[in-house]
Structure 1
Amino acid sequence: MNAIVTIAGYTVLEMLRNRLLRFVGAYFLVLFLLSRFIGELAIIETVSFESAFLGALLRFSTVVMTGLLVITGMVREFHDKGMMLILSLPISRTRYLLGKFMGFGALAVFLAMASCLLLLAPAPLDQVMLWGISLICELLIIGAFSLLCVFTLEQVTPAFVATMSFYLLSRGIETFQLMASAREIETLANGIIAGVMDAIAFVLPELYRFTATDWLVYHSGTGSMLLPILGQTSVYLILLTGMALFDFYRKNL
């Protein structure tokens, strides 16, 4: 357990050395000022419009940041032989991977908390807390999938493209299902397409239920809505981490 915590701390320290705090602070400040400006342009429901705009930007931005930081950090360790140096010590690959994931999990918590601080201006505290917990779950899934992609593909561009494709598909799969099933005339091709969409939706997390903008705009979020989100997060973290470990152990380092 000490090795896992040490690796996690080293991962966080490495991200801080890359001036993460400065970048996140400057970027979030720009987003906040932009949302205030956009809100002033709205004729009616200024606060609701500002909440929706800022929440959507923060959600997508933190997902992109998490994916990029996980992938680039791991690829840098591959090239610098830092991973091989750590594994040359009496540390198992399982502990190494769990330590890296714990460090990136701390990043997810930090980004979510920073996002919540910005949203406290236009949205109520209880809804922001629900939104923030859901965002942490979403970022943990993205972080775990990014680890899987970087161990499998070993390059920044393919791993990031795969991660964003996974995220966008998980976010929009409900829309794709509705489009595939909303046919006036039922044909064999339409049935096949609808079946394929249902099969894809079955294996993907329902990210369209996570960090809902409705919570910030209409204040409709409740604690019970977090239960399926937490359940899905637990299941997919176990699956993705297990797949990453399987791929990691079969590599010859």
Structure 2
Amino acid sequence: MTAAAWRIGRAVAADTVREALRGRLPWLLAALLLAGAGLSGFIGALALTDTRATQAALLAALLRCAGAATVAVFTVASVVRERHDKQAEMLLALPAGRAAWLLGRLAGFALLAGLVALPAALLALGHAAPAQAGLWALGVLCELWIVAAFALFCALGLGHAAPALCVTLGFYLLARVAGILQALAHDATSLARAAADGIAFLLPRLDTFARAEWLLYDTGGAADAAAMLGQTAIYLALLAAASLVDLQRREF
């Protein structure tokens, strides 16, 4: 990329983050942090046995789902709004090309995902050793990066917020339960097993990201981090390439 492309990409990324900070994202993150802390105390008061495990497991599930929904909604809304306001057409007409705009958008959404993952990391520190909490937070961050890249791809391809958001959330839920589908299809027909194996092969195995047992039993390690980072790199590259191909073929 040329120097002009780098400047435009950085400007697009910075504008994406400013858009989030000017909106209600900081208030939403603060509310998420307070809600998580309050829910943790409430669960601790209700649980009769194994309070720490119950708190950690429920908080892990809540924070992952809330973070994914937040990133998906903001990404889709931001891209669709920019498209309807004709701002994207002006940026895409610049000499740097469409790749600079796309990579800048991806970088901005990646920074947004880091902000969204911050409350999860802070709350995880209260329920696990720092190394395990850090590994779990890394898993949440990788998961949110994939969600952001897929939401960008859907928003560019579909052009409307509702279908793009539905497809993104469906992708996330299906990727989360891919391992369960494989287990359920183990004793089913060969066609069902093939379908479950195909889904697990094509989608990222988000059920292996940020596992609750890392917080409970300190079972996470370097191999888990490498697997998460490897999957994230592969799917980010594929989704960025697919988005760029779709963007290049469009007439603005």
Query: What is the alpha-carbon distance in structure 1 between the residues aligned to residue 220 and residue 15 of structure 2?
Result: 36
- Residue 90 of structure 1 aligns to a residue in which SS? coil
Matched with 1:61 is 66
**Is residue 92 of structure 1 aligned with residue 97 of structure 2?**
yes
2:199 is equivalent to residue 209 of structure 1: no
1:154 aligns with 2:159: yes
CA contact (8 A) 1:49 1:217 kept: no
> What corresponds to 2:176 in structure 1?
171
Deviates more, 1:22-31 or 1:150-159: 22-31
SS at match of 1:252: coil
**Which residue of 136, 141, 145 maps to 1:140?**
145
Question: What count of residue pairs does the alignment treat as equivalent?
Answer: 247
Q: Is the 8 A contact 2:182 2:196 kept in 1?
A: yes
Q: 1-side partners of 2:223 and 2:186: how far apart? A: 29
CA distance in 2, matches of 1:172, 1:226: 20
| TM-score of the aligned structures, taking structure 2 as reference length | 0.95
- Alpha-carbon distance between aligned partners in 2 of 1:196 and 1:19, rounded to the nearest angstrom: 41
RMSD: 1.1
* More off after superposition, 174-183 vs 148-157: 174-183
Identity across matched positions, percent: 37
Residues 171 and 206 in structure 1, CA contact (< 8 A), matched pair in contact too: yes
Structure 2 equivalent of residue 224 of structure 1: 223
Q: Does 1:30 align with 2:29?
A: no
Deviation at 1:150, TM superposition (A): 0.5
Structure 1 residue 71 displacement after superposition: 0.2
Note if contact 1:71-1:147 (Cα within 8 Å) is conserved in structure 2. Answer: yes
Equivalent position of 1:17 in the other structure: 22
Distance in 1 (alpha carbons) for counterparts of 2:185 and 2:223:
30
TM-superposed CA distance for 1:132, in Å, is: 0.8
Aligned to 1:110: 115
Match of 1:101 among 101, 106, 110: 106
* Structure 1 position 113, deviation (Å): 2.1
Structure 1: unaligned runs, 5 residues or longer: 184-189
- Normalising to structure 1: TM-score of the pair? 0.94
Contact 1:135 1:211 (8 Å CA) reproduced: yes
- Which residue does the alignment assign to 2:81? 76
Deviations for 1:200-232, whole angstroms, at most 9, x for unmatched residues? 221111111101011011111112211111111
- In the alignment, the residues of structure 1 paired with residue 44 and residue 200 of structure 2 have an alpha-carbon distance, to the nearest angstrom, of 35
Give the residue type in structure 1 aligned to 2:106.
F
Matching residue of 1:241: 240
Output the amino acid matched with 1:106. Answer: L
Pick the aligned partner of 1:46 from 31, 51, 70: 51
Deviations 1:9-30 (A, max 9, x none): 0110011111210121123212
The residue type paired with residue 249 of structure 1 is Q
Q: What CA deviation, in whole Å up to 9, does each residue of 1:144-184 have, x standing for no partner?
A: 1001101111111111111111111111111111111224x
* Secondary structure of the structure 1 residue equivalent to 2:177: helix
Counterpart amino acid of residue 11 in structure 2? T
Contact kept, 8 Å, 2:32 with 2:119, in 1: the verdict is no
Following superposition, the deviation at residue 110 of structure 1 comes to 1.3
Instruction: Judge which range, 124-133 or 191-200, deviates more.
Output: 191-200
Contact 2:17–2:111, Cα closer than 8 Å, also in 1: yes
Corresponding residue of 2:3: none
Any gaps of 5 or more consecutive residues in structure 2?
1-5
The aligned amino acid for 2:181 is: F
Greater than 3 Å deviation, 4+ residue runs: none
Q: Indicate which of 5, 12, 18 corresponds to 1:7.
A: 12
Equivalent in the alignment of 1:187: none
CA shift at 1:85, angstroms? 2.0
SS at match of 2:132: helix
Is residue 124–residue 137 contact of structure 2 (8 Å, CA) maintained in 1?
no
